[in-house]
A and B are shown apart, each in its own frame.
Chain A
């Protein structure tokens, strides 16, 4: 099946620094990528949807200036958490959907962020 990778798998950073998370579709072209956030013992919450070459659409309550999303190519989307604070500590999961099989989203393994 289709594979989506994320890098890094975990990151620890100091408060105030910025962290970039990469999401790659390895064997298909992803016209749409999604970013989710999951706090401990909670469900996945959609943060934003990004289409290749256009601006991301953010869900209500998600700060676009804090969570910068770039989907510059059909196989790569990045999420940058700017000026991270401890409350941004979470599990970030990306998923990708190809234009051929648009009904299926393929999920990455997630990135665990801990902000000290």
Chain B
């Protein structure tokens, strides 16, 4: 089964509001990454948080990681219509000497003007 599970599956907000997406996972991780994908397009890497970090910021993005609860959250502040996209968390897990990324199901974010 997939390592990461996001919630909510879909989120609809107005411009200017904050959007929070959550991700839960099952096993120990090296790091957790968040990606964005516009409809039918490739992935855009947003932010990486290591297993020994608890919070990280990048512009309007804030990511938290709670390894005891095996969960992470992505907060987008002051959202814009251009933030409309699908957001995926991905866990970097070591397997047999190399590491691999496993993606969650994603959250579809719709930001209305």
| Known contacts A95-B101, A103-B31: A43-B88 contact under CB 8 Å | yes
Flag whether B99 is at the interface (Cβ < 8 A). yes
Is B56 an interface residue when CB atoms closer than 8 A count as contact? no
Interface size on B, residues (CB 8 A): 22
Residue of A nearest to B108 (CB): A41
Are the CB atoms of B105 and A93 closer together than 8 Å?
no
Is A78 in contact with chain B by the CB < 8 A criterion?
no
Contact of A103 among B30, B42, B43 (CB under 8 A): B30
**Which residue of the partner chain, among B41, B92, B100, contacts A49 with CB atoms under 8 Å?**
B100
* A32 lies within 8 A of chain B by Cβ: yes
A32 touching B98, Cβ below 8 Å: yes
Interface residue count for A (Cβ, 8 Å)?
24
Does the CB pair A43–B105 fall under 8 Å?
Answer: yes
Cross-chain contact A42 with B105 (CB below 8 angstroms): yes
CB-CB < 8 A to B106: which residues of A? 43
Residue of A nearest to B104 (CB): A43
B-side contacts of A46, CB under 8 Å: 100-103
A112 at the interface (CB under 8 A from B): yes
Chain B residues engaging chain A, CB cutoff 8 angstroms: 2, 30-31, 35, 40-43, 45, 48, 88, 92, 98-106, 108
